[in-house]
Amino acid sequence: MMRATRRTTRTARRRSRPAKRAAKRRLAKLVKPARPVRVAVAPPEPVLYKLCKPGWAVIVERIPNAQGTRFVCPFCPKSHRVPGPVRGFKKVRRAQWSRLRRVEE
């Protein structure tokens, strides 16, 4: 008789452990985090400006600064001014290039 009761208590112990763990997991999921989760805001898309050479544009980030950014043009001896930081140059299609705004001389 004693053996039978021991076995039942052992099996009962084994069964109760996962149930306790599951209850703890459920409680952990229900509890709200201490600080709100921040959603990453994507930076604004860069703008293209016409350069001197047909079909070429300069990629400018949309972070306006007071005096603008001056960069040396790779196609002419002058330097041009744009409203934000320069992020590179790009070859664009003719139709797309004609719609772009020109850089300031």
Asked if pLDDT for residue 97 goes beyond 70, the answer is yes
pLDDT, residue 53, reads: 93
Q: Does a structural domain hold residue 11?
A: no
Domains in the chain, number: 1
Give the three-state DSSP class for 55: coil
In a domain, 20, yes or no: no
Total count of residues recorded for the chain? 105
38 contacts 23 by C-beta, under 8 angstroms: no
Identify the pLDDT of residue 47: 92
* Residue that is written with structure tokens 């990629």 in the block: 59
Average pLDDT over every residue of 9-33: 63
65 in any annotated domain: yes
Chain segment 24-63, per-residue pLDDT in tens:
666 566 666 677 777 777 777 889 999 999 999 999 988 7
Look up residue 73 and give its amino acid: C
Query: Can you give the residue range of the structural domain that contains 69?
Result: 47-102
pLDDT of 27 reads 59
Structure tokens at 45: 């898309």
Q: In angstroms, rounded to a whole number, what is the distance separating the alpha carbons of residues 37 and 92?
A: 40
